C-alpha cells in the first residue's frame, strides 16, 4: 500500500508541469475562452509529440501503453494549468470506449490517429433532458438497409464542433429497462444533416448543441453491439467522472497555491492578511478539501484500473466529494482575494468558473450521492 506516486509518475508530473507553465500560460487560457474552436492546433500537435493523446493507448496502436492512473496524474496537472481544448473528449470519451469495445478494424482505424494527434473525438450522450442515466438517451436511430438513421438533439456535448468523429448514443429499441436498447455509433462529424451550435457557458469551455437531421450512419460504425451500448457508456462515464475529479484536484490545488501567496503579500491593518486567524483557518479547511479530493480520486482511479468490485461506488464517492470540496476551495479563494477576485483581469476568477463546469460534468454531488445510496442499500 503506497499512495505516493511512482518514480515514473513523479517524472511525468514534473515534466508536464514545466511544459504547461511554458506552453499553456494564463494568456493562452484566456485566448482560448474567446477562440471559437477553443484550442490551438499547434498546441494539440505539441501534446501529441509528447505522446499524451496516446498515453493510455497500447503500443500496437501507436500509443505508449501507460496506465489509467498515469493519465490521472497528467490530468491533475491539466487542471492546475486549466488546459483548454478537446483532450478529455478525445482520450477519455473517444479512445477509451474504442479500446474497450471496438473491433480490431475500428481500433486500427481510430487509435493510431488519436495517438498521433490527428483525430479529435467526443461523446454525444446527454440530451435536452440533461440526464446522465439511461433514461436520458431518447434520440432514436432507426435501421434502414445497411444503415441507421439518426434524428434528434444532443446537448452539452463537449468539443463536438471541432471533432472529427463523435460517438453518439441513440435509442434503437424501446424497452421496459431503459438500459436495454441503446446503441453507440461512430459518426463522422462532417456527415450530412449534422449541425453544431456552441453554447455559452460559465467556463467558456466549448459545449455544443448537436442537431441530427436524418443522419445516415453505416451499420459497420456501430461500436459494440446493437442495443447493448449502455454498459460501454457506463464505463466511459466512470472514467470521465474520475478524469473530472483529477482536473478539479489540480484546479483546487492551484487556486489554493495562488491564494496562499496572495495572503502572504496583501497587507491590511499593517500586516499580511494571512496573519489573521479567520483567514488562516480557511486555509486549513482548504487543505483538507484539496488533500481529501486528491486521495479519494486516486483510489477511484486505481479501483477502475484494477477492476475492483467496488470501483463504481468509489467513483461516485470521489465525484460527489470533489464536486463540493473543490467548490468550497474556490469559494474561499474568492473570499480571501476580496475585490480583485471578482475582476476579469486577475487569474483567480478562472478557477472559480471552471470549477463549476467540472462539478456539473458527469454528475453533480446529488446525482452521485444517490448512486452511493443505491449501492449502500444492496
Partner 1 sequence: MDFRFTPEEEAFRQELRSWLRENVPPNWEGVFLEEEVEEWKQGLAFVRKLAEKGWVAPAWPKEYGGMEASPALQLAYNEEMGYQRAPIGSIVQSVGYIGPAILFFGTEEQKRQHLPPVTAGETVWCQGYSEPEAGSDLASLKTRAVKDGDDYVINGDKTWTSNAHRSDWCILLARTDPAAPKHKGISFFLVDMKSPGITVQPVMNMANVHSFNQVFFEDVRVPKSALLGQENQGWYIAAMTLDFERSSLVAMAVSMAKRALDDLVGYCRETRVKGKSLLASPLVRHKLAEMAIEIEVGKYMVYRVVSLQARMEPGSIEAAVCKLYNTELDVRVANTGLEILGLYGQLHKDSKWTQLMGRFQKSYMYAIAMVVGGGSSEIQRNIIAMRGLGLPRG
Least separation in angstroms between residue 249's CB and partner 1 is: 12
Of 30 and 266, which CB lies nearer to partner 1 in the complex structure? 266
Least separation in angstroms between residue 246's CB and partner 1 is: 12
CA contacts within 13 A on the Cβ side of 315: 26
- Work out whether 258 is an interface residue with partner 1 (CB under 8 A): no
Taken as a whole, the chain contains a residue count of 378
- Work out whether 307 is an interface residue with partner 1 (CB under 8 A): no
Residues 241, 296 contacting (CB under 8 angstroms): no
- Work out whether 192 is an interface residue with partner 1 (CB under 8 A): no
User: Which value, in Å, is the radius of gyration of the alpha carbons in the chain?
Assistant: 21
- What are the CA-CA distances from residue 305 to residues 150, 171, 375 (Å)? 34, 29, 20
- Work out whether 264 is an interface residue with partner 1 (CB under 8 A): yes
Return the residue of 12, 182, 317, 330 that touches partner 1, per CB under 8 A.
317
Return the residue of 19, 272, 346, 356 that touches partner 1, per CB under 8 A.
272
The secondary structure element, H or E, covering residue 210 is strand 207-218
Query: Closest by alpha carbon to 165, among 189, 143, 144, 134?
Result: 189
Of 46 and 287, which CB lies nearer to partner 1 in the complex structure? 287
- Work out whether 179 is an interface residue with partner 1 (CB under 8 A): no
- Work out whether 268 is an interface residue with partner 1 (CB under 8 A): no
Identify residues 340-369 at the interface with partner 1 (CB under 8 A). 366, 369
CA contacts within 13 A on the Cβ side of 284: 6
Residues 82, 354 contacting (CB under 8 angstroms): yes
Return the residue of 130, 202, 340, 373 that touches partner 1, per CB under 8 A.
373
The secondary structure element, H or E, covering residue 281 is helix 277-305
If DSSP codes are grouped into helix, strand and coil, which group holds residue 55?
A: coil
- Work out whether 299 is an interface residue with partner 1 (CB under 8 A): yes
- Work out whether 296 is an interface residue with partner 1 (CB under 8 A): yes
Task: Kindly write out the interface string for residues 319-338 of this chain, putting x where it contacts partner 1 by CB under 8 A and - elsewhere.
Answer: -xx-----------------
Return the residue of 6, 129, 175, 265 that touches partner 1, per CB under 8 A.
6
Expressed in angstroms, the distance from the first to the final Cα of the chain is: 28
Least separation in angstroms between residue 197's CB and partner 1 is: 36
Between CA 347 and CA 290 the distance in angstroms is 19
Residues 113, 119 contacting (CB under 8 angstroms): yes
Note the residues at the interface with partner 1 (CB under 8 A).
Answer: 1-6, 9, 69, 260, 263-264, 271-272, 274-277, 279-281, 283-285, 287-288, 291-292, 295-296, 298-299, 301-303, 306, 314, 317, 320-321, 366, 369-370, 372-373, 376-377
Amino acid at each position: 500500500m503506497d499512495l505516493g506516486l511512482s518514480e515514473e509518475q513523479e517524472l511525468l508530473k514534473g515534466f508536464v508541469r514545466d511544459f504547461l507553465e511554458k506552453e499553456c500560460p494564463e494568456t493562452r487560457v484566456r485566448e482560448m475562452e474567446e477562440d471559437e474552436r477553443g484550442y490551438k492546433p499547434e498546441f494539440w500537435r505539441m501534446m501529441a509529440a509528447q505522446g499524451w493523446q496516446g498515453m493510455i493507448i497500447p503500443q500496437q496502436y501507436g500509443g505508449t501503453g501507460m496506465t489509467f492512473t498515469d493519465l490521472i496524474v497528467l490530468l491533475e496537472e491539466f487542471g492546475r494549468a486549466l488546459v483548454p481544448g478537446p483532450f478529455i473528449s478525445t482520450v477519455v470519451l473517444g479512445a477509451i470506449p474504442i479500446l474497450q469495445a471496438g473491433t480490431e478494424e475500428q481500433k486500427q482505424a481510430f487509435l493510431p490517429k488519436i495517438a498521433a494527434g490527428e483525430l479529435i473525438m467526443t461523446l454525444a450522450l446527454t440530451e435536452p433532458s440533461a440526464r446522465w442515466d439511461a433514461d436520458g438517451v431518447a434520440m432514436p436511430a432507426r435501421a434502414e438497409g445497411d444503415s441507421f438513421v439518426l434524428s434528434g438533439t444532443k446537448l452539452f456535448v463537449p468539443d463536438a464542433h471541432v471533432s472529427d468523429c463523435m460517438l453518439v448514443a441513440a435509442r434503437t429499441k424501446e424497452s421496459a429497462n431503459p438500459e436495454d436498447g441503446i446503441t453507440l455509433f461512430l459518426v463522422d462529424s462532417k456527415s450530412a444533416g449534422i449541425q453544431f451550435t456552441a453554447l455559452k457557458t460559465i467556463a467558456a469551455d466549448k459545449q455544443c448543441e448537436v442537431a441530427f437531421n436524418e443522419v445516415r450512419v453505416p451499420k459497420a460504425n456501430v461500436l459494440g453491439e446493437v442495443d447493448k451500448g449502455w454498459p460501454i457508456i457506463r464505463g466511459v462515464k466512470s472514467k470521465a467522472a474520475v478524469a473530472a475529479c483529477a482536473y478539479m484536484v489540480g484546479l483546487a490545488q492551484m487556486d489554493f497555491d495562488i491564494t496562499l501567496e496572495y495572503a502572504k503579500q496583501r497587507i491590511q491593518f499593517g500586516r499580511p492578511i494571512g496573519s489573521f486567524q479567520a483567514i488562516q483557518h480557511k486555509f486549513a479547511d482548504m487543505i483538507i478539501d484539496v488533500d481529501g479530493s486528491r486521495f479519494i480520486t486516486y483510489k477511484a482511479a486505481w479501483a477502475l484500473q484494477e477492476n475492483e468490485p467496488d470501483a463504481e461506488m468509489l467513483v461516485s464517492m470521489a465525484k460527489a466529494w470533489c464536486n463540493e470540496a473543490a467548490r468550497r476551495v474556490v469559494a474561499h479563494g474568492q473570499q480571501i482575494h476580496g475585490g480583485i477576485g471578482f475582476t476579469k483581469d486577475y487569474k483567480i476568477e478562472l478557477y472559480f468558473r471552471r470549477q463549476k463546469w467540472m462539478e456539473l460534468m458527469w454528475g453533480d454531488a446529488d446525482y452521485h450521492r444517490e448512486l452511493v445510496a443505491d449501492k449502500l442499500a444492496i
